[in-house]
Structure 1
Amino acid sequence: MSHLCLCLLFAGLCAFAQCHYTPDHNEDHDHGRSAPAEGERDLPSLKIARGNADFAFRFYHHVASESTEKNIFFSPLSISTALAMVSLGARTTTLSQLLSGLGFNPSDITELEIHEGFHHLLRILNRPNAELHLSIGNTLFTDDQVKPLKKFLDAAKHFYETDVLPTNFKNSAVAKSQINSYIEKKTNGKIVDAVKGLNPEAVMVIVNYIYMRANWEKPFNSLHTRVGDFYVDEETMVKVPMMNKVSWFETYHDKILSCKVVKLPFKSNVSALFILPDQGEMKQLENALSKDVLLKWMNSTKSQRIDLFLPRFTISGNYAMKGILRRMNIKEVFTDQADLSGITGKPELKISKAIHKAYLNVYENDTEPAATAAIEIVPISLPHVIITLNRPFLLVIVQEETGTFIFMGKVTNPTEA
């Protein structure tokens, strides 16, 4: 029996410009705290944190094994969210593979708890605030050849706040233009031409997008930016604009993994961790990278006066996901044995294509408000440590309250967009 095709698209953007998180007093009762209080640890979003983290690091390891010399940047949250939404319509072994691949053990968490967790997380991250520009959304583009079940549509709308848009896949050029325009608009013009081609049998495309702009809590002064050397490897050196700031930063020196960690918070409880391995220790660091290691670093940082040099850069990631997900044991959903009968009532769908595109722009500051023009005055005699990110480093952007890893990456060459 021939199968109709479902495509998955994931788009993520992070531009460091402006960010702040405000709790929902009706749900979280969590005003101004960076960690849940006793009695709030059973919040739905916290129940899926471990699974999401497990997926994020396993995905990173698979990408890194194929991209040893390349920049890496992706949003594990974007990918997990879209796949979790697909699982609403999966059945039998297709469902069990999806949930297991996403890092969820049925003995530890129920399907309902998983979907409730994503629903709660999306509500937290999408909450409007004057200092936050963070939006995550899902959209289902459907052709009239396939009529999704009301139960599936209701669940997708309820748990994942999914929009449903009619699309004429018989005219693939029009459908491609419609989807690309939608993604470009939702990511403020940064993710363009996400869809290069559509399977002629496609009848449905699921899109997840994530867009974040975040101002540094301690912005860099562009007047201090100078061209510096970045050592891609032992034989390659490139020139980059190197931002510089002397201030108090949360840092940690992991002597076991031979790396330094610098935590740069945004105006929120979202933070970026920059991890600089010692010369020649990147492979050891990547092999050890895990949620437990990240938590150890975050819990071990101490405030220290640092002369920090950080390159200004733009990187992007573009991944054909099928091969990566199959290696993560999410296989059946891509085959003719796929059971996505919960979407249409019939086992007639499989995923033909899964694409992820992400974009990151790191710079001094997007705007020049009065607060960023403040002059920091410190005694000149205070000792400080110099940390210069002038060779390949890792970065992780995390929403600390929910333990959500929003973006992950490796900067091997900051001059390669």
Structure 2
Amino acid sequence: MNAQTLKKIGILMTAGLVLLGLWGCFRPTTPGAIASSPILTATDTPVNPQLTDAQTRFSFKLWQHLLAQQKKENILISPSSVAIALTMTYNGASGDTQTAMHDALELQGMSLSEVNQAYANLKQRLEQSDPSVQLKLANSLWGRNDINFKPDFLQQTQAYYDANLRSLDFTDPATPKHINHWVSKQTQGKIPQIVDQVNPNDLLFLINATYFKGNWQNEFNPNLTQNRPFHLPNGQEKQHPMMFQTGSYDYLETEQFQAIRLPYGEGRFSLYIFLPQADHNLSQFYSQLNSTTWQTWLGQFAQQDGSITLPRFQLEYGVELKPVLSALGMDIAFSDNADFSGISDSSAKIDRVKHKTFIEVNEKGTEAAAVTSVGIVATSIRPPSNPFEMVVDRPFFYAIYDRETQTPLFLGSMVNPAI
């Protein structure tokens, strides 16, 4: 897609998708009937604060472990998408595997029924967005047609996650096309493929697709966009289209960074940009970033007049999360000792966790196809200057965040917007 086409689209989009594949270790069981159950509708009650806290802890724990592997690259993840796919699988885990997934997902003190109801409420609340924002979370199960999946597992995933089972012949070469067609449809074509092939021993794929599209509350004037240098970590400069606007923003400045909130639509969803000061870098910023500092910083933003210069960018990203999740304590789920007896009578383990994301940021908006650290506190806040000037012409951290449910939908590290 060329730059002219992107300009015509005039939207910012992010799509996050997780594919979680279960692999059968032994012989399949006899296929059986799938129990049907009524969908449990989430109420309008607030999202469980325990889940909110768990999501935030998991998001930044996942981010830090992934960052350790890919510090010098552009990164974009949807931690909520990852968490939802894993939590659906958690419904079929037992014994030590269930405990390991419970701990990795930071579900401290929450029962399985509480977790499921909280996610049902969260899905409903997230999708009740304003007219300027589209947000859709879609879940699905794709199972081998000779496997007898447990009725309780299917009932839970259908009732709380709206994930219905599609039974397919995993020996049919066309099977990946069926799965990828669903993926492409849910992400508006932004992620056309998540499954390369289906292996004979595969039992089940659990997929979450998250699609976000939002128009800025205050759009950037495309006539003010011009090429300016973006400073890369290696000292080189690249000319890149930079958007510009002035106004009154939620803004935060410390000795280490500048940060700004750019709202979409009615202001519930926002893009947060964190730019290290010229005498600091992203590595120094990331050494401070965790769930505690994130929540502290969000409470310190204040209205201030100023100007923002922001690169227009588009990014496609994919990663295999199995090594990261193993490091988070879920290694048993990937081993032959895994216990997913709640899914089927076939011995099974998680074989792969694929995550793909897409984002486009431009003048019109955004389209996207998802332990407290002792001694780390918020740095001193600089007295407000009037007006501030924030020129995002070097590597930065960004997040798409829902203030109503306190959910980090997407987290990104932009090192080179020209890629």
TM-score category (smaller protein): 0.7 to 0.9
Residue equivalent to 1:66: 69
Q: What is the correspondence of 1:17-416 to structure 2 with a 5 Å cutoff?
A: 27-28=43-44, 43-105=46-108, 108-127=109-128, 130-171=131-172, 173-255=173-255, 258-268=256-266, 269-279=268-278, 280-344=280-344, 346-365=345-364, 384-416=387-419
Provide closer, same or farther for how the CA distance between residues 246 and 44 of structure 1 changes in structure 2, counting only shifts above 3 A: closer
- CA drift at 1:204: 1.3
Cα displacement (A) at 1:234: 4.2
Give the C-alpha shift of residue 27 in structure 1: 3.7
Contact 1:270 1:397 in 2 (8 A): yes
Once the 2 structures are TM-superposed, how far is the Cα of residue 199 of structure 1 from its aligned partner?
A: 2.8
Deviations 1:200-222 (A, max 9, x none): 31121111100000111111011
Offset at residue 198 of structure 1 (A): 2.6
Residue 287 of structure 1, CA deviation: 1.5
For the residues of structure 1 that align with 2:347 and 2:328, how far apart are their CA atoms? 24
Greater shift, 393-402 or 277-286, is seen at: 277-286
Whole-angstrom distance in 2 between the partners of 1:157 and 1:96: 23
Aligned residue identity for 1:335: S
- The aligned amino acid for 2:272 is L
Q: TM-score, length-normalised on structure 2?
A: 0.83
Query: Helix, strand or coil for the counterpart of 2:259?
Result: strand
- Cα pair 2:304 2:386 within 8 Å, conserved: no
State the identity as a percent.
24
Compared CA separation, residues 273 and 318, structure 1 to 2 (3 A): same
Q: Distance in 1 between matches of 2:184 and 2:81?
A: 16
TM-score, normalised with respect to structure 1: 0.83
Distance 1:212 1:179, change over 3 A: same
The CA deviation at 1:17 is: 6.5
Structure 2 contact 132–264 (Cα < 8 Å) conserved = no
**Structure 1 residue 53: deviation in Å?**
0.8
Distance 1:316 1:364 in 2: 19
Q: How far is the alpha carbon of 1:116 from its aligned partner?
A: 1.1
Confirm or deny that 1:16 pairs with 2:12. yes
**Could you tell me how far 1:347 is from its partner in structure 2?**
5.0
| Pairwise CA distance, 1:153 | 0.7
Runs of 5+ consecutive residues of structure 1 not aligned to the other structure:
1-14, 19-25, 29-39, 368-381
Q: Which amino acid aligns with 2:353?
A: A
Question: What is the aligned length?
Answer: 362
- Structure 1 counterpart of 2:296, one-letter code: K
Partners of 1:17 and 1:334 lie apart in 2 by 33
Quick check: 92-101 or 160-169, which moved more? 160-169
- Stretches of structure 2 that go unaligned for 5 or more consecutive residues are 1-10, 15-41, 367-384
